Each structure stands twice: as C-alpha cells, then as structure tokens.
Structure 1
Amino acid sequence: MAVKIDEEECMGCESCVEICPAVFGFNEDETKAFVIEGADLEANADCIEESIGSCPAACITND
C-alpha cells in the first residue's frame, strides 16, 4: 500500500486531515496536505479510503 497526494491538485481543504489525522498532515506554509512519513497505512486503511472518497480535488491515491 502506498498512499500519495498530488500536492499540485490539493485544494487545502484539510478534509483528509480531519478524517485521518494519523496518516495525513497539513503544511500551513504551502496550504497543502501531505502523507505523514512512517504512518501505519495498514492500520488506518478504513480512514484512508474515507479520505479518498471525501477529497473534493480527487488528489489522493492508494496504489
């Protein structure tokens, strides 16, 4: 599992951060979300999928 955010497409809405704070962080300077390095993706699979479905920019992928 490899979760990625296309930061160029990210609108900075922070919905993924609110839904899954163990996996997604927010860069205040760039107003973009990012995937937290070392996050336990397997343990957070459900909230990752919810974040993907909730993203208005559709910029989160899970390969």
Structure 2
Amino acid sequence: MKSSCLSRVMRQPPEQVLFTDDSLTNLAGATALGTPTHHFVDEAGLWDTLEEIGALRTPSS
C-alpha cells in the first residue's frame, strides 16, 4: 500500500494521521490510503471529531 506524502513528512503511518478536507473527492483518496478522514463543514464539527478520536486529551505525566 502506498503511504501518503503527509504521513511520510509527519513520520506517522497513514492510519495515525487525520486528513481533513471539505472535498469528498480528496477524502476518498485519503481513505483509500488507510488514513482516517473528517469532512469539514464547520469548525464545531471538526472540534467534535478531534474530541472523538482523543486528539484533544492532554498526555498524562
């Protein structure tokens, strides 16, 4: 499976990178690479998705 340029730059596997876009076509490409996606419609929805995936949690010491 091809990895995405973004995941290589971030040094993370595609499944650990959230791809956010307002274009369903672009989201389909990211999904095909195994990258989780979020269809951006508004800021509130993005915050909800970030909370759902645990991206807003503070790492424990």
Specify which structure has the bigger relative contact order, considering alpha-carbon pairs within 8 angstroms and separated by 6 or more residues: 1
Indicate whether the TM-score tops 0.5: no
TM-score by length of 1: 0.34
**Whose strand proportion is higher, 1 or 2?**
1
Q: Which has the higher Rg, Structure 1 or Structure 2?
A: 2
TM-score by length of 2: 0.35
